Structure 1
Amino acid sequence: MNQIKKLIIIGMIAIAAIAAVHNPLTKQYVNKWKQRSVTASAQKSSLWKTIEANASKHYIPPSDAKVDRVWKAIPGYNGLAVDVEASYKKMKSERKYDDRKLVFKQISPKVHLSDLPPSPIYRGHPDKPMVSFLINVAWGNEFIPDMLATLKKHDVFVTFFLEGRWVKANPDLAKMIADSGHELGNHSYTHPDMKTLSREQIREQLIKTNQVIEATTGKQVRWFGPPSGSYRDEVVAVAHSLQLGTVMWTVDTIDWQKPSPEVIINSVTTKVSPGAMILMHPTASTSAALDQLIKSMKQKNLRIGTVSKLMREERIMNKR
């Protein structure tokens, strides 16, 4: 009996379903649903294709790191491409193309700075709107606190290249620099002419300086700035074996000659360009010029960062 009831119920459901399919109102609803689906699909297809068509206009290929004939090692720089799917999701609610809502993704280069043979670095990538201040410290203690205060005022972080002997004699100042958030570099131990030293002497200068900086500040060192910019290929190779990149400079303030602050400002601002590394020391002239130098970089739409930040491949994005 129960089996007969089940068959009757199934039959009634089937009859109701058939009747519903042939009901004009049901047909009208189904047709409208199909039409809306087709329209939505067409709109998606059209919007998607429009985004894809415009993507090529915004594509910037990545730039590989390379060893330049003049500038030696130059870091790579990420390329830029439109993320079509993310852009579509951002525009689909209004179902119309809007260039301002494009979403971008960065494309890494194939060759990185770490892939290059040992070579000195004189500048960052020329397309990167950033510069670095390199402050070599072996003397000038009296000007360091004021320079740190100026950097803090502008929320700017730079790279201080410290002589090892100076760190040992001035641990409190070395810690003050490190605690202010600045990057620390190796400036040799006794400020010798590095190109005249034997391989073992080069290693001793670098290792001893790394050790005293780390013991004093707790910071590890990634970069080496040769005193007076003096080096030979073996110096660069030894530094590389110790995982130190050899850093030179693009623009020199020549502040050790005690020029006026105005001369330093004019000299730097007329020579600086994206990717530049600007060499300076803790002098009275530089301390007085530093505030205006920072403002001048910002007026040129150039960010100021540490050497490590300048060497990164990450593309600086303009605000849209």
Structure 2
Amino acid sequence: MRIIIIKRKTILFAVLVLFLISIIFFFLSRKSVNTFKIFDPIYKGSEAEKKVAFACNVVWGNEYLPDMLSEFKKNNIRITFFIGGDWADKNKELLMRIHADNHEIGNHGYNHLKHTQISEEKNREEIIKTEEVINNIIGVKTELFAPPYGDVNKKVAQIAESLGYKVIMWSIDTIDWNTKDYTKILERVNKKIHNGAIILMHPTESTVKALPIMISNLMNNDYNIVPVSEVLENNN
């Protein structure tokens, strides 16, 4: 029988090599996870059910909000209002009315800036300041962030997510701010409607005119209109 004698130095060397390999593998694995983590905005919800969400960005248009709120209440609809912090500071009563009607409140930044063009520190300030203003007025902590102008990149998304937010975009844009012809809004929605749609709108005269028909069309096609957070349920 042959007896193989392994020197102590050889054993120690082998152990050291294995130890170094394990350390290298550990750090490479961590780097890989961080490198490939994706910070993605959300453009639509789950397509499993016939649900759609209205997302209304509010930094102006006060004169149209009461009519919009009345239409939503008449149809027993809850939507998501993304509120600008500066607007909230100046329009506390309107924000309280939106909240009293049980609508979901999201964060739209304080000064309506293009977030890809400002510093990381300013990004955080815009979101946190708005969160604090809204919370002070209605006692709600916002959890959804809609970047002004839809201006977003990986860095902006990463900053918002680090603050506990989901970054919300849209799959259907009514472009209501750029038309006085409400039928164009209806055409855009009817053409692109799908399960899980997030429909972007603003408080405008054309939106007020389009809403009754839009809501009726959606309901007649068995769509359930819900807040953004609800359309995201079971989202993959």
TM-score (ref. length: structure 2): 0.82
In the TM superposition, structure 1's runs of 4+ consecutive aligned residues that sit over 2 Å from their partners are: none
Aligned partners of 1:264 and 1:212: how far apart in 2? 32
Is 1:197 equivalent to 2:143 in the alignment?
Answer: no
* Higher RCO (CA 8 Å, separation ≥ 6 residues): 2
Rounded to whole Å, the distance in 1 between the matches of 2:185 and 2:159 is 34
Displacement of 1:127 after TM fit? 2.4
Distance 1:285 1:311 in 2: 28
CA distance in 2, matches of 1:214, 1:191: 18
SS in 2 for 1:279: strand
* CA offsets 1:84-116 (integer angstroms, 9 cap, x no match): xxxxxxxxxxxxxxxxxxxxxxxxxxxxxxxx8
Of 212, 227, 235, which aligns to 1:306? 227
8 Å contact from structure 2 (residues 180, 205) kept in 1: no
Aligned to 2:164: 243
Q: 1:254 aligns with which of 169, 175, 183?
A: 175
Q: In structure 1, what is the equivalent of residue 154 of structure 2? A: 233
User: 1:151 is aligned with what amino acid?
Assistant: F
The superposition leaves residues 211-247 of structure 1 with CA deviations (integer Å, 9 ceiling, x where unpaired) of 0011111112110000110012111011101111000
Q: Percent sequence identity over matched residues? A: 39
Deviations 1:151-206 (A, max 9, x none): 00000000000000000000000111011000001000000010011111100000
**Which residue is equivalent to 2:41?**
120
The residue aligned with 1:148 is 69
Work out the CA distance in 2 between the residues paired with 1:186 and 1:244: 9
* Paired positions, count: 199
The superposition leaves residues 119-176 of structure 1 with CA deviations (integer Å, 9 ceiling, x where unpaired) of: 1000012222100000000000000000000000000000000000000000000111
Matched, 1:285 2:213: no
Where does residue 134 of structure 2 map in the other structure? Answer: 213
Q: Where do 5+ consecutive residues of structure 1 fail to align?
A: 1-115, 315-320
Q: Which amino acid aligns with 2:71?
A: T
1:162-173 superposed matches below 5 A: 162-173=83-94
Task: Using the TM superposition, give the Cα deviation of residue 313 of structure 1 relative to its aligned residue in structure 2, in angstroms.
Answer: 1.9
Secondary structure of the equivalent of 2:132? helix
Question: Which residue of the partner structure matches residue 10 of structure 1?
Answer: none
Specify which of 170, 178, 188 is matched with residue 99 of structure 2: 178
Distance 1:173 1:160 in 2: 12
Unaligned runs of 5+ in 2: 1-36
Query: Distance in 1 between the 2:182 and 2:115 partners?
Result: 30
Q: Report the Cα distance in structure 1 between the residues aligned to 2:137 and 2:164, rounded to whole angstroms.
A: 20
Separation of aligned partners in 2, 1:118 and 1:214: 26
Distance 2:155 2:184 in 1: 36
Equivalent residues of 2:111, 2:126 under 8 A apart: yes
Query: 2: CA distance between counterparts of 1:118 and 1:289?
Result: 34
Q: Residue type of the partner of 1:198?
A: S
Q: State which structure, 1 or 2, has the greater radius of gyration over its C-alpha atoms.
A: 1
Determine helix, strand or coil for the equivalent of 2:53: strand
State the distance in 2 between where 1:274 and 1:150 align: 22
